[in-house]
């Protein structure tokens, strides 16, 4: 399951979210029943962002400045207004309004928050993927299951061998690598005893999720000199979700929320079940063995449960009933997706680094890639901030409202 969100500070990020929610063809869903049924008049689940733990005086100063020039200053109100301009339905609640709207939650340390009013809830990501795959098959798309083992290269015609005129071997090797062009991939099919087979391709899209960085290294990205030295900093990062049962929590009234401490929670099916977890810090991520997918249940009681109880006291009787671990594709450079061709290989396109936003942004990202190929430029959403050039120049893109990676 995934929760679509529409509140982000980057206009391009909001546009990607809105395009997913508004423009996904309803024909994808014709053969799939909705797993979760809502009664008429039931309040759809919203997402509450507990924003900003500034002290009151500092917040009041920023608030007054924001009201004077809300569309230009980098503050939460300006972010919200820009999101509304792009089609997001978002409400701004002061502390008193939050307490009235959700009386069972503690907002003593919260100055204000935003609440998604429309098109925010739960989607079954596997159902979405299955629907798209089935539709693509009817359109003639062929799926090949296998493991990428290597790439095929071709030296540009008419260029002399660098080893003929460069004496330094390392420099000559780097120069030769810089003049190669990707022509295809070697894929080992999922068959017993099968050998890798060459698949010729004019364009290659690296959308391998958590393993996009590994695939890029096979193509020589991040090694050598010049443009070849620019890496694709996508790495798998372990994330753990806990399924808990909390009999005292009002399951139909509580929103999906993310706490300033990094703890998130959302309702899960019926019967007072919830999915929760914690977003680790960069320092914690650096110390974690992301290849170990075992689950430490003590993490819930030591780091997640105390925050839940402080925010919603009714979670005091919560018990863990299940849990799962997974890998997210995290851009270790700035936590923002990469939508760009690699600077060394114009026909090698990177589409990864979405974190847990993949189900929301992937459809729009695919549309943008088709525009890049057929029109030569992005025509619907400007996502040039997600280009690989920011990595080359060391310019990080900051997204303060991104709740998790």
Q: Number of folded domains in the chain? A: 1
**Of 28, 26, 41, 42, which is closest to residue 270 (Cα–Cα)?**
42
Does 324 have pLDDT greater than 70? yes
Does 267 reside within a domain? no
Distance, CA of 307 to CA of 126 (rounded, Å)? 30
Q: What percent of the chain has pLDDT over 90?
A: 36
Read off the pLDDT of each residue in 264-275 and give the average, rounded to a whole number.
88
- What local confidence, expressed as pLDDT, does residue 90 receive? 77
- What local confidence, expressed as pLDDT, does residue 12 receive? 53
pTM above 0.85, yes or no: no
Q: Using one digit for the tens of pLDDT, what is the confidence trace for 218-244?
A: 998 988 777 888 999 999 999 999 999
* Reported confidence tier of residue 81, pLDDT bands at 50, 70, 90: low
- What local confidence, expressed as pLDDT, does residue 200 receive? 93
Distance, CA of 232 to CA of 221 (rounded, Å)? 7
Distance, CA of 56 to CA of 47 (rounded, Å)? 24
* Reported confidence tier of residue 167, pLDDT bands at 50, 70, 90: low
Judge contact between 220 and 228, C-beta under 8 A: yes
Inter-CA distances, 116 with 5, 6, 148, 274, 348, Å: 8, 8, 41, 19, 37
- What local confidence, expressed as pLDDT, does residue 176 receive? 63
Q: What percent of the chain has pLDDT over 70?
A: 70
Q: Using one digit for the tens of pLDDT, what is the confidence trace for 363-404?
A: 888 888 888 888 888 888 888 888 999 998 899 887 765 555
CB neighbours of residue 176 within 10 Å: 17
* Reported confidence tier of residue 34, pLDDT bands at 50, 70, 90: very low
Q: Using one digit for the tens of pLDDT, what is the confidence trace for 283-313?
A: 898 899 999 999 999 999 999 999 999 999 9
Of the listed ranges 7-21, 38-52, 314-328, the one predicted with least confidence: 38-52
Q: Which residue has the tokens 């928050």?
A: 113
Does 43 reside within a domain? no
Does 338 reside within a domain? yes
Does 344 reside within a domain? yes
**Using CB atoms within 10 A of its CB, is residue 243 exposed (0-12), middle (13-18) or buried (19+)?**
middle
Q: What domain range includes position 349?
A: 129-233+334-393
DSSP class of residue 72 equals T
Distance, CA of 193 to CA of 366 (rounded, Å)? 34
Does 209 reside within a domain? yes
Q: Using one digit for the tens of pLDDT, what is the confidence trace for 240-265?
A: 999 999 999 998 888 888 888 889 99
Does 75 reside within a domain? no
Judge contact between 13 and 83, C-beta under 8 A: no
Does 54 reside within a domain? no
Does 38 have pLDDT greater than 50? no
CATH of the domain at 346: 3.50.50.60
What the block records as the tokens of 342 is 């690699």
Q: End-to-end alpha-carbon separation of the chain, Å?
A: 15
**Using CB atoms within 10 A of its CB, is residue 94 exposed (0-12), middle (13-18) or buried (19+)?**
middle
Does 363 reside within a domain? yes
């Amino acid at each position: 399951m995934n929760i679509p969100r529409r509140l982000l500070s980057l206009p391009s990020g909001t546009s990607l979210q809105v395009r997913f929610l508004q423009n996904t063809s309803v024909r994808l869903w014709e053969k799939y029943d909705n797993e979760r049924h809502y009664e008429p008049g039931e309040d759809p689940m919203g997402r509450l962002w507990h924003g900003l733990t500034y002290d009151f005086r500092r917040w009041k100063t920023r608030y007054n400045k924001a009201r004077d020039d809300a569309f230009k200053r980098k503050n939460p109100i300006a972010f919200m207004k820009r999101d509304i301009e792009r089609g997001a339905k978002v409400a701004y609640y002061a502390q008193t309004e939050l307490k009235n709207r959700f009386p069972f939650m503690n907002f003593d340390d919260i100055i204000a928050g935003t609440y998604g009013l429309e098109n925010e809830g739960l989607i079954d990501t596997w159902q979405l993927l299955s629907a798209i795959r089935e539709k693509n098959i009817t359109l003639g798309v062929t799926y090949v299951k296998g493991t990428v083992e290597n790439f095929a290269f071709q030296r540009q015609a008419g260029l002399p061998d660098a080893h003929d005129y460069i004496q330094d071997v390392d420099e000559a090797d780097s120069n030769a690598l810089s003049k190669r062009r990707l022509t295809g991939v070697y894929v080992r099919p999922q068959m017993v005893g099968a050998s890798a087979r060459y698949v010729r391709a004019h364009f290659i899209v690296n959308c391998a999720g958590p393993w996009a960085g590994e695939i890029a290294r096979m193509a020589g990205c991040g090694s050598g000199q010049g443009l070849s030295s620019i890496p694709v900093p996508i790495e798998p990062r372990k994330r753990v979700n806990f399924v808990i049962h909390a009999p005292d929590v009002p399951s139909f009234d509580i929103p999906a929320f993310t706490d300033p401490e990094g703890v998130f929670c959302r309702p899960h099916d019926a019967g007072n079940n919830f999915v929760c977890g914690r977003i680790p810090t960069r320092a914690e991520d650096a110390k974690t063995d992301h290849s170990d997918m075992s689950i430490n249940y003590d993490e819930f009681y030591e780091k997640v449960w105390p925050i839940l109880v402080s925010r919603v006291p009714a979670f005091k009787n919560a018990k863990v009933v299940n849990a799962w671990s997974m890998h997210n594709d995290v851009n270790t450079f700035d936590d923002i997706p990469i939508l760009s061709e690699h600077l060394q290989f114009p026909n090698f396109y990177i589409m990864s680094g979405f974190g847990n936003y993949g189900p929301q942004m992937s459809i729009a990202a695919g549309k943008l890639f088709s525009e890049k190929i057929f029109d030569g430029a992005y025509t619907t959403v400007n996502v040039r901030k997600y280009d690989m050039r920011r990595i080359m120049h060391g310019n990080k893109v900051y997204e303060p409202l991104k709740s998790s990676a």
